[in-house]
Amino acid sequence: MALAEAGARGRLLRWPRVLLFGDSITEYSFQENGWGAYLAERLVRKCDVVNRGISGYNTRWAKLILPRLITESTSADSIVAVTIFFGANDSALKELNPKQHVPLEEYAANLKSMVQYLKSVDITADRIILITPPPLQESAWEKACLAKGDKLNRCNATTGQYAQACVQVARECGTDVLDLWTLMQKNQDFSSYLSDGLHLSTKGNNFLAAQLWSRLENKLTALPSLLPYWRDVDHTNPEASLL
């Protein structure tokens, strides 16, 4: 059978998608042992896990980009989950990092705006997960800043205020939320979760992956595997199995 004929007979194969939208902590999530790679491995043949992490970005910029990533007419119907993971840059101290800093009230409004946009293109609240910034290990991040000729430009207490705002937005909008800032500090030294005081270490990636998977597993593992297992393909008439 010619390929064009096979294409005409068969239905277009479209994998459902999980969209990861965030800053550098999302962008780096497909690196070795990354939390995004963990999700992709568990959802192979069920979903495409799409990395839309953009290093250095804040919610002020992200809310402008989101409508260019997802539109009702072209892509929203295939999305089974979206993570929105910002705050590590928004919470930078204004006097030391004015370019990335976003005031707390605006940060909350921007998150709410993004959730409302997703709902407007029929991505329901149960498919949206907000993730708070992780805690900041100040001494380690100060070393990273000093190495670049900068002063310490973030503090953990301020990051915590943004995390609380993220949790409140999720509550108001009816979405799920993963409060990394609180969970990583619960009864333990959180420094091992971070590679440089801000970004996640292997342990931190594993922690986030496990927490996120516990929220997604029931929703997504029930999705069918696309295309039959190879032993189930009728080798004498593969068209019957594959088209």
Q: What residues act catalytically?
A: 24, 196, 199
Burial 144-161 (b: 16+ CB within 10 A, else e): ebeeeeeebbbbbebbbe
Q: To the nearest 5 percent, what fractions of the chain are helix, strand and coil?
A: 50, 10, 40
Q: Check if the beta carbon of residue 49 is closer than 8 Å to that of residue 112.
A: no
Which residues are within 8 A (CB) of 16 and not within 5 positions of it... i.e. 6 or more apart?
46, 47, 48, 78, 79, 80, 223
Backbone φ and ψ for 194, nearest 5 degrees, come out as -120, 140
Query: Which residue type, as a one-letter code, is found at position 166?
Result: C
